[in-house]
Structure 1
Amino acid sequence: MSILKINELALELVKRDFSDGHKPTNGGPTKTSRALALIHLAAHDAYAKVTGKLTPQLSTLPNKPAAIGTDEVTGIAALLGAGIRAAVQLYPDDAAFIATEAAKIIATGTNPIALRYGEQVADAWLNERKNDGSALPQEDTLFDQAPGRHRRDPLNPKQTTLGRTWGLVKPFVLKDVVADAYLAPPPALDTVEYAKAFDEVIDIGKDSIIRGGTDARKNATVGIFWGYDGSNKLGTPPRLYNRVVLAIPEVLTLSHAQQVKLLTAINVAMADAGIAAWYWKYEYDFWRPVVGIREADKGWGPTGKGDGNTHRQKGDPFWLPLGAPKSNPITPEKPTSIAENSNFTPNFPAYPSGHATFGSACFEVVAAFLGKKPENITVQDFVSGEFNGETTDNTGTIRPRLVETFTLRKAIEDNKISRIYLGVHWSFDATGGQKVGNDVAAKVAAAFK
């Protein structure tokens, strides 16, 4: 079905955007989620305006030309024109690739007026979002030296922060992040709750796969399986979550109109999830475990104050996490620096977890759409790009292929806890992200009902 072709094209563009040393046009999971939402919204609204089978999401669309009909074939032509036009505008570096793929997707004799109308719908959406705040600078070095504040990954001493202004981007469905997806502050550094999270991640998130036992390897597998941390040939989490949804047999048996609606809804949900998560990340500016554990005790860190917590185990100034996977490194044999091929801690604050927010928003929308609980929805024979028999680890060693079948509930939970297994998040980051993601999902599901 045509929306599957547009989705496939969009996900390939995300992959290419992060491949072979290309400087991403839509860097980070935030800009990726916005681009995916716009491609799908353009396709959705062009199809909706032509066929009348769905309700357009943008009210200021051009009128459908009187010269074209309202049949499915014409609707598909408009959908293709819209999706491809949006893709070219959002991924200009891949214009030649998109043109080649478009020639494969668009059948000979496809109504040119319908295609052109789809392009006009895409232009309307791109114009609508021209001044949405996404063009604001996304990198800086504004680090706070106080205990509890986000700072650089010690393995990446030149690391900048990403997305400080992304929380100011205009949402697609949410009216107001604070009102619609409120998140309470993280636990204070001197509390028992923080101590419990500290004691958990210092043990299960440390870099110890080789030395660890069976449980450590199982945890590491879960952590890496849900990675997609902007790595070469993989891209970011929104690409992964789209692929998970398309491995649900029920999704593939939906009518074309319903597939258009669902795929658009999940990508809009992830776009708003990214805006909401990054709003709260920089509202609270909470440190990651790699800094919090190494500077926990008095005397350590820029201020020497430590975290002041008397409930936790002793900190470790030499602690390093297993880390977000640096998969498919471009120069595995002779990296120019230690940091180049190191697994790493992402370059934005911990609370809430972006993975948990994106994943919960996406998967809860699917559950609402199918009218089932996540535990009653199966993801069948899924292969993560992190374990596809081709992807390499940070040393250049090929990881084996792994095929998994699981419920959508397990996907939500494993995706959430995966970041703790990697040692890049605290447990309250995961639950906070799930809370924000669920709030976003409820709003988006209502908007697309």
Structure 2
Amino acid sequence: MQAKLFLTPLLAAAALCTSLTALAGGAADSPAGNPVTRWNAVAIQVLPVDPGLVMDSRAFAIVHAAIHDAVNGVERRYRPYTIELSYPNASVDAAIATAARDTLVALSPSQSSTVEIAYAATLLGIPDGAAKQAGVELGRRSAEANLARRVGDGAESAGGPPYVPKGEPGDYDFTPPFDKPPFGPVALFPGWGAVTPFGVETLDHRLPGPLALTSREYARDFKLLKAMGRNDSSMRSEQQTDMAMFWFEFSPMGWNRIANTVLRQERTDVWRSARIMALVNFALADGYITGFAEKYRHRFWRPTTAIRAADRDGNPATDADKNWTPLQAPAFFTPPVPDYPSTHTVLGAAAAEVLIQNFGDRLRFEVVSTTLPGATRTFQSLSDAAHENGMSRVYGGIHFLHAVKEGCRQGKSVGRVVSQLLAPAQEGKAAQYNVEGPVKSKLCLHGLTP
């Protein structure tokens, strides 16, 4: 796949660095968790490396779908995602471990040794006998069914067809360092929007499009980004620079860690953990799919191109700066995809909305990041974290504010739909499920301002 080859020299190296420290972040001072959160931590360690960025969102979703179906094969508290199984005397720990192990080995073959070590350690702690054997068989069948479900889902061909810029004002063009060898010219996954979603209909989450280049609104957005997002900005505070770096970590890893932290902090049981982690990852995967569908439908240029070429945009209120660059820092760059919408914001809003629908918004938690090592940020609500996650792209100069606001709106709609999946199998069995539909959420209603 062309896109995967492109990831190898630069982005995969960044993913490896991130993954190796992922487990250290936020785990040591929290409750120990349960088998679901522990296997999620293994997934965080291996999936960003192989299959790699963007593709890891699909892999996370498959892994947690298999875990969910395996758990509910022991005792059915929630509706299954792919396959209904019944092993009432099976070991839950063995079922989770085997479902996770089989999917992770299939989806991350280069990291199989890490997975096998974790699997062997888990099985050693489970007494031999019929329950263990039944759990292994249950987990195997769940993994097999969920992997089979995704065969032919469009992911294998999503690296193409090759993107060709039109050279017109407003049209996305390749951005440094992906505009020439050794890293380009390339645009990432032009076909990812055609991948089969996990829980939504892609067309239900379309967006109206970028601001017109000649509009006053575009000029206002342009001026804000040009001043705040430039590398040597006097408008951007030191704290905002730190936010740009802190949230640069790629979304599937970052929001899986947040979800893991919340589940452990709230001491959520195995069944509910399996459901919520599956839904968070369906939302993340579908956020990329719906977001990329809109990115390549609208093909809107990135700020670095727009500011350098403002003399061609037809707007008298915008001034070109041929030497303008966004924030420059190690492991910080403009991702090689169109501007609108910001999928970083889409994914953050989607994951946050799922968590809000399950825990409410007012939840104090701490977040760490591998792209700003040593820093810890504390939030009083999930929506505050999602808003800061989105605004970080403006602070870093890599997304227009309009792309962030629309990304938040799209992500919230994805998360709201996904949060209603995997409903309770029997009333009263699955606690704290919103049987009357989505709760009101303040996500995207405030906070998306500099």
**Which residue of 155, 164, 167 corresponds with 1:145?**
167
**Which residue of 309, 313, 320 corresponds with 2:315?**
309
* CA distance in 1: counterparts of 2:213 and 2:294, whole angstroms: 18
Shift of 1:412: 1.2
1:217-250 per-residue CA deviation (whole Å, 9 max, x = no partner) reads 121111111001xxxxxxx211101112233377
> 2:127 is matched with which residue?
109
> 1:224 is matched with which residue?
245
* CA distance in 2: counterparts of 1:402 and 1:378, whole angstroms: 13
> 1:165 is matched with which residue?
191
1:327-373 per-residue CA deviation (whole Å, 9 max, x = no partner) reads 3xxxxxxxxxxxxxxx4211110100011100000001100012x2x
> 2:334 is matched with which residue?
345
> 1:377 is matched with which residue?
363
1:397-445 per-residue CA deviation (whole Å, 9 max, x = no partner) reads xxxx445344212101101110011111001110111111011111101
Shift of 1:141: 4.2
Q: Is the 8 A contact 2:73 2:138 kept in 1?
A: no
> 2:111 is matched with which residue?
94
* CA distance in 2: counterparts of 1:46 and 1:258, whole angstroms: 13
- Aligned-partner residue type, residue 323 of structure 2: F
> 2:229 is matched with which residue?
205
> 1:301 is matched with which residue?
none
* CA distance in 1: counterparts of 2:84 and 2:178, whole angstroms: 48
* CA distance in 1: counterparts of 2:106 and 2:266, whole angstroms: 28
Shift of 1:137: 4.3
> Mind listing any 5+ residue stretches in structure 2 that lack a counterpart?
1-33, 424-450
Q: Is the 8 A contact 2:307 2:321 kept in 1?
A: yes
* CA distance in 2: counterparts of 1:199 and 1:51, whole angstroms: 57
* CA distance in 2: counterparts of 1:51 and 1:170, whole angstroms: 29
Shift of 1:263: 0.9
* CA distance in 2: counterparts of 1:194 and 1:44, whole angstroms: 45
* CA distance in 2: counterparts of 1:250 and 1:77, whole angstroms: 20
Change (3 A) 1:364 1:403: closer
User: Does residue 404 in structure 1 map to residue 378 in structure 2?
Assistant: yes
Shift of 1:54: 2.0
| 239-248 or 31-40, larger mean C-alpha shift | 239-248
Shift of 1:251: 5.0
Q: Is the 8 A contact 2:70 2:142 kept in 1?
A: yes
User: Does residue 320 in structure 1 map to residue 325 in structure 2?
Assistant: yes
> 2:349 is matched with which residue?
360
Q: Figure out how many residues of one structure are paired with residues of the other and give that number.
A: 381
**Which residue of 359, 383, 387 corresponds with 2:372?**
387
Change (3 A) 1:100 1:278: same
User: Does residue 42 in structure 1 map to residue 63 in structure 2?
Assistant: no
Q: Is the 8 A contact 2:37 2:263 kept in 1?
A: no
- Aligned-partner residue type, residue 95 of structure 2: A
Q: Is the 8 A contact 1:5 1:105 kept in 2?
A: no
Change (3 A) 1:255 1:137: closer
**Which residue of 85, 95, 105 corresponds with 1:78?**
95
* CA distance in 1: counterparts of 2:149 and 2:259, whole angstroms: 28
- Aligned-partner residue type, residue 47 of structure 1: V
> 1:393 is matched with which residue?
none
Change (3 A) 1:406 1:221: farther
> 2:52 is matched with which residue?
27
Compute the TM-score of the two structures, normalised by the length of structure 1. Answer: 0.81
**Which residue of 111, 129, 153 corresponds with 1:132?**
153
> Mind listing any 5+ residue stretches in structure 1 that lack a counterpart?
18-24, 229-235, 298-305, 328-342, 390-400
Q: For residue 378 of structure 1, give the secondary structure of its aligned residue in structure 2.
A: strand
The Cα RMSD (Å) is 1.9
* CA distance in 1: counterparts of 2:285 and 2:326, whole angstroms: 28
* CA distance in 2: counterparts of 1:257 and 1:8, whole angstroms: 17
Shift of 1:32: 1.2
> 1:271 is matched with which residue?
285
Q: Is the 8 A contact 1:166 1:278 kept in 2?
A: yes
- Aligned-partner residue type, residue 350 of structure 1: D
1:2-30 per-residue CA deviation (whole Å, 9 max, x = no partner) reads 10111011001135x1xxxxxxx32322x
Q: For residue 388 of structure 1, give the secondary structure of its aligned residue in structure 2.
A: coil
Change (3 A) 1:10 1:421: same
Change (3 A) 1:406 1:227: farther
Change (3 A) 1:156 1:167: closer
Q: Is the 8 A contact 2:310 2:320 kept in 1?
A: yes
- Aligned-partner residue type, residue 342 of structure 2: S
* CA distance in 2: counterparts of 1:326 and 1:272, whole angstroms: 29
Q: Is the 8 A contact 1:171 1:272 kept in 2?
A: yes
Change (3 A) 1:441 1:249: closer
Q: For residue 377 of structure 1, give the secondary structure of its aligned residue in structure 2.
A: strand
* CA distance in 2: counterparts of 1:354 and 1:258, whole angstroms: 27
User: Does residue 69 in structure 1 map to residue 94 in structure 2?
Assistant: no
- Aligned-partner residue type, residue 53 of structure 2: G
Q: For residue 261 of structure 2, give the secondary structure of its aligned residue in structure 1.
A: coil
Compute the TM-score of the two structures, normalised by the length of structure 2. Answer: 0.81
> 2:220 is matched with which residue?
196
Q: For residue 420 of structure 2, give the secondary structure of its aligned residue in structure 1.
A: helix
